[in-house]
Amino acid sequence: MYKDTLYKSAYFKRLEQIKNKNSDIYQTFFVHPEGPDSDVLSPKLKELIIIAVAHTTGCPYYVKLHVNHAENKVVSKEEAVKVIKLTAALKAGADIAHGVVSLNAFSKVDQGRVYRSVYFHKLQAFSSLSKAASKAFTEFSHRHEQPSLLDAKEKALIAVAVACASGCTHCMDLHLKNAKNSGATNKEIAGACHFPNFVEK
């Protein structure tokens, strides 16, 4: 068993090796990573989205880096914690949505398409197989998806980013509609969708 941690802050400095060996990649992902549509998002919302995506992908370096950045963007500790709990609910929701694929596999349902919008309605059947756990998840999810320190549009855009990062087609469909209904523009949505691309790299 390792006596030391696998992730050390000092290791982050090795990114300089990427800069030295391939400056184009370094420029793309570390100097100008935000993309043309992200300018429509406030600096604070950008950092909150990146914190959410970093927790979705499980990258400790990006968690540490962007929580530090977020403090400089006037993000409070309470807002950061709220986003982390929201991300936990969204990520769990993505796993449950993917569970529909498992149900179809057990039932030998195969019409040539793994994802279909009609399959989303099978979540009720999925939930009925574990009622207590499903009830606890629903209560947790509803509590943290309600507007509080963050408004409805901010939460919807964060949800879109997490859906992209988790690769959940059902979630993307749901949260894109919610973002539109909350007043988000196409450029704001595009900006939110961009961040998982460079955080996951």
Distance CA 124, CA 131 (A): 10
Dist. CA 111–CA 89, nearest whole Å: 30
Q: Report pLDDT digits (tens) over 170-185.
A: 888 889 999 999 999 9
Asked whether residue 155 is assigned to any structural domain, the reply reads yes
Instruction: Report yes or no on 179 lying in a domain.
Output: yes
Cα(182)–Cα(112) distance, rounded to whole angstroms?
A: 34
Q: Are 157 and 40 in contact (CB under 8 A)?
A: no
pLDDT at 186: 92
Is residue 148 in some structural domain? Answer: yes
Is position 61 within any domain?
Answer: yes
**E strand or H helix that includes residue 146:** none
- Per the structure, the count of domains in the chain is 1
Domain span including residue 189? 35-107+115-200
Res 52: pLDDT: 92
Q: Are 194 and 38 in contact (CB under 8 A)?
A: yes
pLDDT in tens, 96-155: 777 777 777 777 776 666 666 666 666 777 677 777 877 777 777 777 666 677 888 999
- Residue 11 counted as domain residue: no
Which two tokens mark 25? Answer: 């990649």
Task: Answer whether 149's CB lies under 8 Å from 183's CB.
Answer: no
Domain assignment present for residue 190? The answer is yes
pLDDT digits (tens, 9 = 90+) for 48-95: 898 899 898 887 877 877 777 766 667 888 888 889 988 988 888 888
pLDDT of residue 197: 64
Tokens read off for 32: 């100008």
| pLDDT per residue as tens digits for the range 26-46 | 565 555 445 545 578 888 888
Does any domain span residue 3? Answer: no
Q: What is the pTM of this model?
A: 0.73
pLDDT the model gives residue 4: 59
CATH number of the structural domain spanning residue 140: 1.20.1290.10
